[in-house]
Amino acid sequence: YRLFMPFAGITISTRECARVRDNLVKIAATKISAGVSTGIGEHVEELEDKGDAQFEISDGRSVQEVYDSLLGENLQPVMAEYVYV
């Protein structure tokens, strides 16, 4: 439970290492990503000429690995592909 700004959303990206993300999710994070790809065109399998990655990923765990990690910390993973604004 956060005392300061308890309703503020805090997103932790895959740019952070797994150890940092695992600790932040226990105390502050409201959203985390998993199984991401940062390369231009990497989600399109038919595309032969794919671009460079936009940034390095430090936490390369799959969605299932992050899900299992959250369960191991007695947290309840909520899966969403969109965010209401």
Amino acid, res. 3: L
Q: Which tokens go with 6? A: 């308890």
Distance from C-alpha of 56 to C-alpha of 60, rounded to nearest angstrom = 10
**Sequence spans of domains, the chain:** 11-72
Q: What is the DSSP string of 35-84?
A: S---BTTTT-TT-SS---BSS--S----HHHHHHHHHHTT------S---
> What mean pLDDT comes out for the span 34-41?
74
The more confidently predicted of residues 1 and 70 is: 70
CB 41 within 8 A of CB 47: yes
Query: In the structure, what pLDDT confidence band is assigned to residue 73 with cuts at 50, 70 and 90?
Result: very high
CA 39-19-84 angle, to 5 degrees, is 60
Q: Is the pLDDT of residue 44 over 80?
A: no
Q: Is the pLDDT of residue 50 over 90?
A: no
Q: What pTM did the predictor assign?
A: 0.70
Amino acid, res. 12: I
